[in-house]
Structure 1
C-alpha cells in the first residue's frame, strides 16, 4: 500500500528536523514547567499517583500531531496512469508473391518459396497496426487475401500458398496490376506493394510498365525484391514418372533492370536477395522504412491522501487538550 504513495511536495519533510529540536527543548525545560515548593520535609506529601510521571505523554501527542501535519503538507497521493494509443498514420500493404516453379529452386533453404513464406510471416507479425493483403502470381494472378487487419487470416493464407495453384510462368505485370487493384480504393495515408520475383516477365496480358504507371497514378509505393543466387541454381527442370520434380542446375534469370525501374518510378526501392539471411534483412529494412506513426495518450489521476493525516493531527491535539484540562490539570 505504502509503496504506491508518492509525495507532491517532499521538501516539507525538512520540517521534521524541528521535532528533535522541540524534544530537546522539552527535556531541558521540563523542570521549569512545574511550580516548585521548598519544604524541610515531604513526609506529609507522600502520594503514589502515577499521573505526574505520565505527563510527558502530552508532549508526545503534540509531537505526533506536528509530524502528521508536516507529512500532510508533503501531500501524499496515489497516481493512476491509463494509456491509450492512436494510430495517426496507417499503412496498407499488399505482398505480391511469385509462385512459379522456379520458386522451388534450392539455392535458399529449403527452397525459395518456403524461405520467403517464413520471412514474410515474421514481417506480418511486426505490423500489428497495419492492414495487409496477399496476391499470388505465376502465369496469371489472383488475390489470396484482401487487405485486412486480421493478421491470423493473412498468416493462414500465407501458409496455404504453394506451387501448382496457378498456371506456370512469371506474369510480373499481372501480379503488380492485381496488387494495385487491391489498394486503389484504400483510404490509408500510405499504400505499399512488396513485389517479389525470381524471374523475368514471360506471361500475362498486362505489361509491367503499364502496371507501374497505374501504381504511380494511385500513389502506391512499390518495393521490389529479386530473389536467387548469382550464377546457377538447383531448379525443377522436368517431372519424374511419379509426378515429382527432376532437379537440375540452371542459370538464374532475373530482370533486375525491370525491377529497379518499377521501384524507381513508384518511389520505392529495389533489393536483391541471394540467400536466406539477405532475404530476412530486406524485409527488416522495409519494416524500418515503412513506419506506422503511433500517438500515445497518458491520463494521470491523482488521489490525495493528506486528509486522514490532518484529521489524525486534529484528534491528537484534541486528546492533548482534554488531558491537560482534566486528568493532568493538577500537575501543570
Structure 2
C-alpha cells in the first residue's frame, strides 16, 4: 500500500529530532509542574483518590503527536501513478520465408526440421512486439501465408497452421520463388527497415524465377535478406516415398544445402548467411538476427501526483482540539 508513497520535501523530517528533546525536557520539568502545600496534619481532610493526575501526561502525548503529524504534512506526502506510452521511431517490417518441402520432415532436428523451426520462429515473433511481420511459405511454388501485420496472434496462429501436406513428396524447392514472393510483400512498405529471413534445407530445383533475379529485386527495393541453411552435416533420416499404408518412408540421405547460393543472396542484399545444424544452433541464429535488427523505441513516462498532506493536517488539528478540550475541562483543576 505504501509502495507508491513519496515525499516532496523529506528534509522537514529533520525537525523530528526535536521530539526526543521535548520529551526529555517534559520529564525533567514534570516534578516542578505541580504545586505542593505543606500541612502539619491531614486528619481533617477526607481522602478522595483520583486517576486524573496520572492521566495528565496524555495532554503532552497529544501535542507531540500533533506536531509529528504537522511535520509529516510539511514533508508533503503524495502518491504517484506512472503511465507509459511507447512510440516506435524506426519500425521494421519482416517477412519470414519458410521452406515447407518434404525434406523439412527430416529428423536431424528434433522432432523434425519443420516443427523445430516453428517453435523457434514463434519465440522470435513474440520478441518483436513493435514490428510488422508476415509469413511466406514455399516448396515447388510459393504463396503468402500472412501479409505483414502487427497482430501477433494472427501471425502465431498462421505459423502453427503451417504443416506439410501429407502425400505430397514431389514438387522440389523454389528458393527464387519464395524470395520473390517475400520481396513482393515488402516492396511497397514505408518502414525504415525491411528484412527477409529466408530458410531452406535444400537446393533451388523448381520455380520460374531465378534466385539471383529475386536478389536483385530485393536490392532495388532496399530489402535486406538473412538466409538460413537448416540441416546437419552428413546424413539425415529423410522422407523419400510413401509406404503402401500411406505412411512416410524415411531413409538416411546425404544433406544437400546450396550454401554458395544462400551466401550469395545474403551478400548481394546486405544480409548474412547462417547454418543451423541443430535446434540449439537454430535458436541462436534467430537470437542473433533479433539483436542485429533492433527497433528504436522511445518511451514517454507520465507521472500523476496526488497530494496526501491534508489528512495529516486534519489529524493534527483534531489532536490539538482534543488537547484543548481536555485541558479546559477534565484537567482544568490541575493546570
TM-score range, shorter chain: 0.7 to 0.9
2: distance between equivalents of 1:322 and 1:240? 101
In the TM superposition, what is the alpha-carbon distance from 1:241 to its structure 2 partner?
4.2
Corresponding position: 1:298 with 2:301: yes
Is contact 1:139–1:166 with CA below 8 Å preserved after alignment? Answer: no
In the superposition, relative to structure 1, how do residues 167 and 249 fare at CA in structure 2: closer, same or farther (>3 Å)?
A: closer
Q: Give yes or no for the alignment of 1:196 onto 2:199.
A: yes
User: How far apart in 2 are the matches of 1:331 and 1:115?
Assistant: 88
Q: Is 1:309 aligned to residue 312 of structure 2?
A: yes
Q: Distance in 1 between matches of 2:228 and 2:207?
A: 20
1:210-260 CA-to-partner distances (Å, cap 9, x unmatched) read: 111111111111100112222333333444444554444433322211111
Q: Pairwise mapping of residues 222-237 of structure 1 onto structure 2 (< 5 A)?
A: 222-237=225-240
TM-score (structure 1 length as normaliser) = 0.86
Choose 221-230 or 158-167, whichever is displaced more. 158-167
Deviates most, 213-222 or 144-153 = 144-153
Aligned mates of 2:302, 2:79 — CA distance in 1: 14
| 1:265 aligned partner | 268
* Match of residue 209 from structure 1: 212
- Unaligned runs of 5+ residues in structure 1 are none
In the alignment, is the contact (CA less than 8 A) between 1:97 and 1:197 conserved in 2? yes
Q: In the alignment, which residue of structure 1 is the partner of 2:121?
A: 120
1:145 aligns with 146
CA distance in 2, matches of 1:251, 1:315: 89
Shift of 1:162: 3.3
Counterparts in 2 of 1:17-96, with a 5 A limit? Answer: 17-34=17-34, 40=40, 48=48, 50=50, 54-96=55-97
TM-aligned CA distance change 1:331 to 1:222, over 3 Å: same
2:175 to 167, 172, 177: 172
How far does the alpha carbon of each residue in 1:79-98 deviate from its partner, in whole angstroms, 9 at most, with x for none? Answer: 32233333333222111112
Aligned residue for 1:185, secondary structure, equals coil
- Where 1:195 maps in the other structure, the secondary structure is strand
User: What secondary structure sits across from 1:87 in the alignment?
Assistant: strand
What is the aligned-residue RMSD (CA, Å)? 2.9
Q: 1:55 to 1:170 in 2, by over 3 A?
A: closer
